[in-house]
Each structure stands twice: as C-alpha cells, then as structure tokens.
Amino acid sequence: MSENEGKICVDLSGQVAVVTGASQGIGKAIALALGKAGAKVACAARSVEKLQETAAEITAAGGTAEVFACDVTDAQAATALVDEVAEKWERVDIVVNNAGITRDTLLPRMSDDEWDAVIQTNLRSVFLLSRAASQVMMRQRYGRIINISSVSGLMGNPGQANYSASKAGVIGFTRTVARELGKRKITVNAICPGFIATEMTDALGPALVDEVKKRVPAKRLGEADEIAQGVLFLASRSADYITGQVLTIDGGMTA
C-alpha cells in the first residue's frame, strides 16, 4: 500500500496555515498534512525544539514551514503571531486551534489552578487566535478556522470537568462564530477526536488503553493522521458550504 493510498487529495498551494500545538501528537500530524498538501505552515507552540522537528519534516517532504514560539493564552502573543505570519506570507487562510492540555482529577479535589490552566489553554486560546485571524480573513474575504474539540466536550468524562467544559465551550464558540463570519466566506468548524494514539493517551497506561478499546466499536485507538485527514477536508474547497459543524472522529464511540 502506498503512503497516500486511502487519503484524500487536497491542493492547498498558495495558502497559509497556522497550527497551534504543532510540536507533537495531533497538532504535528495536522501540520505535516497541511504542509504536504502545499500550504505554508506556521507551526506554533511553547516548545521551540519540538516545533523545529515538525518544521524540518515538512521541509524534508518538499513543503514550507516556519517555527513560531508562542504562548497562545496570551492576547498580545496570539495577535503578534497572526500579524507576523500575515506580514511574512501576506495572508492567513487556515487556522487550526489545536493547543490543549489536561489536568485530570475529580471535582472535589480540583484546584483553581487546574481549572484555570485548562480553560486558558483549551478555550481562551481558541478565542484569541480566532479573533486575531478573523480580522485578516475578513479583509481577504476567505478563511478556514478549524477548532479541535473532543468527545469529552460532547458526553463528559469523569475526572475531566475542566477539560470537558473547555471542549464543550469550543463547540459553542464554533457554532456562534460560524454564524458571525459566514457572510465573509469564512467557515468555522470543529473536530471532536475520540481516543487517539498520542503522547497523551500513552500516559493512561496499557490496562486503561485496553479498556478504552473495548468501549470503541472500531476496537482500536484512532491515529493522529486520521484527525489530520478531517482537517484537510474542512480546509479544502470541497468544504465551502460546510460551517458551524462538528465532525466527530471517534471510531463510533459516541454513536
């Protein structure tokens, strides 16, 4: 089987994408997929060293990528990121709000800091980057904002009151902003991954991962590239008339 067999073919040549949390896991897979599709990719995260690995893989595959160290919870930094990318490449076509963290614990033991950190990274950053990018996209009269939510935002998950709240907030934000920006030819959609094989799920341990697989009709964890394929579709011109929607990629777990 060839590397591209079974994958959608999307041409994003001439477009510019910003991907947050691009240093590892789902974010890295998304950045690589967008780069291979021809987009110039701004890889953003706090960890510059890991970002450089992502950018190097994109360039090695013939694409174009730059590294941008950014605290996406900081309003000035988020605005500066978008402005710098727009100045460098003269446009911003695609923003993928992927940055996310967990601070899992049951509600009675959850600290203020554990709540605030997750809400800031998972929800506030989506607002900040989308607000900044929307101004560039409105001038272009074109754009794609793709927000990475989670099945935890659809159905909840014990020990994740903060995470579930943040991801549910992303869905509400997505649907509202889609209504606001639709007339400017800007689509805003969300993707809800299920359990995906990443560094985050590795931390669960083999016993819990096996238990998760039993709950999934597909009987396996998803792959990061399967989420990236969903992003590619929503970023493509084939998705021109799709906005305000939530694409769930979870192997049937929430069916």
Write the pLDDT tens digit of every residue in 88-106: 999 999 999 999 999 999 9
pLDDT score at 158: 93
Q: Is the pLDDT of residue 1 over 50?
A: no
Q: Is the pLDDT of residue 205 over 80?
A: no
Share of the chain above pLDDT 90, in %: 87
Interhelix angle 112-119/161-181, nearest 10 degrees: 30
Q: Mean pLDDT throughout 15-26?
A: 97
The predicted-structure confidence for 62-96, as pLDDT tens digits, reads as follows: 999 999 999 999 999 999 999 999 999 999 999 99
Tell me the C-alpha distance between 103 and 114, whole Å.
6
Tell me the C-alpha distance between 247 and 233, whole Å.
11
Domain boundary assignment for the chain:
16-249
pLDDT score at 5: 62
Q: Is the pLDDT of residue 48 over 60?
A: yes
List the catalytic residue out of 68, 89, 163, 173. 163
231 touches 193 (CB < 8 A): no
Active-site annotation holds for 241: no
pLDDT score at 57: 97
The predicted-structure confidence for 121-143, as pLDDT tens digits, reads as follows: 999 999 999 999 999 999 999 99
Average model confidence (pLDDT) for the chain? Answer: 95
CATH of 16-249, one of 3.40.50.720, 3.40.980.10, 2.60.120.20, 3.30.300.30: 3.40.50.720
- H or E stretch covering 71: none
Tell me the C-alpha distance between 237 and 241, whole Å.
9
Sheet holding 64-69, edge to edge: 64-69, 40-45, 16-20, 94-97, 143-148, 186-193, 246-249
Q: b/e map of 155-174 (b: 16 or more CB within 10 Å)? A: eeeebbbbbbbbbbbbbebb
CB atoms within 10 A of CB 236: 19
Per-residue confidence band for 4, with pLDDT thresholds at 50, 70 and 90: low
pLDDT score at 38: 98
Per-residue confidence band for 20, with pLDDT thresholds at 50, 70 and 90: very high
